[in-house]
Homo-oligomer: A and B are copies of this chain.
């Protein structure tokens, strides 16, 4: 039997609540006799032998007063987290959330940094999952260095540059530690839907007249992005551009508004106006509603299993198996063919081992 994946987390937000509760929910389904091939919302039942419930949380770092010093099982449900409380009993991993790093602690010689390294080692963590709010490059760097020193695989969910940094990647490779990143591609995000529909317009030979996309919701992201969404807007628009689809006909509003009662639900509305034969119009309106943090957790579950399996198989550096669920993989998307990705998964299967120690 495969040993559970020992997971440490930097940031105890909604994504971690989704991951923690969801893993238990799948365990409950399994206990009810549902075969794992029929688990809802799961693309790969096993990666390197690890199922979606095979996670043991062993350490957690955060700065919010509702979380620091609290038992993990309590902190993960504390406000401002507002992921729904799933109908499942939750375990109590019997450890407390400890204080995360502040910018002044970024130096590896700082007391706080030393404590993080020690906790990672003493908890026998296999993977450190980094999911702090977007924009803290110094924090991504510091946690990546701490994980490297503790020889714990690192997963970067955010757009900060970690796996794309040649120096960092080389350091992980030299140390024999896996490094997964950067920036998770949502399970079913607005961008992937919008891009697919714009692609259809171009492929079928219609002309794009205009398009817009607005996103809104009730978690902290939408509050933050409302005022600081300019760079996210540009990167989202660029991600939609493709052959015959010019970015100057597209507008994206990353946060059209913070609407508290939506809680962790995200809503997107998008419109595409096109021209067909004789310039006659086609018009497409779409509304998409998702559970925002499930959209992240459904991908995180693959990233951390790839990271842990790579570590167990002693495959250091960037694991190709992670490419499809990252927005900015080390090396860039064009470097990887579908065959390479499949080969990446096969290596992890071959490496299936019974323990993560």
* A contacts, CB < 8 Å to B: 18, 21-22, 25-26, 40-44, 84, 86, 187-188, 192-193, 196-197, 200-201, 204-207, 210, 212, 214, 216, 249, 251, 253, 256-257, 259-262, 267, 269, 271, 274-291, 294-295, 297-298, 301
Assembly CA distance A207 to B40 (angstroms): 5
Are B294 and A22 closer than 8 Å at their CB atoms? Answer: no
Are B282 and A289 closer than 8 Å at their CB atoms? Answer: yes
Are B187 and A278 closer than 8 Å at their CB atoms? Answer: no
What are 29 A-B pairs at a CB distance below 8 A? A18-B278, A18-B280, A40-B275, A41-B275, A188-B201, A188-B274, A196-B197, A206-B298, A212-B216, A251-B257, A251-B261, A253-B257, A253-B259, A256-B256, A269-B269, A276-B290, A276-B298, A277-B301, A278-B294, A280-B291, A281-B291, A282-B295, A283-B288, A283-B289, A284-B286, A284-B289, A285-B285, A286-B286, A286-B287
- Least CB distance, A111 to chain B, in whole angstroms: 37
- Interface of chain A: mostly helix, strand, loop or mixed: mixed
- Residue on B nearest A251 in the bound complex, by CB: B259
Q: Which of B210, B278, B294 touches A276 (beta carbons < 8 Å)?
A: B294
- Residue on B nearest A26 in the bound complex, by CB: B278
On chain B, the residues within 8 Å of A294 by CB distance are 276-278, 280
On chain B, the residues within 8 Å of A40 by CB distance are 207, 275-276, 279
- Residue on B nearest A271 in the bound complex, by CB: B267
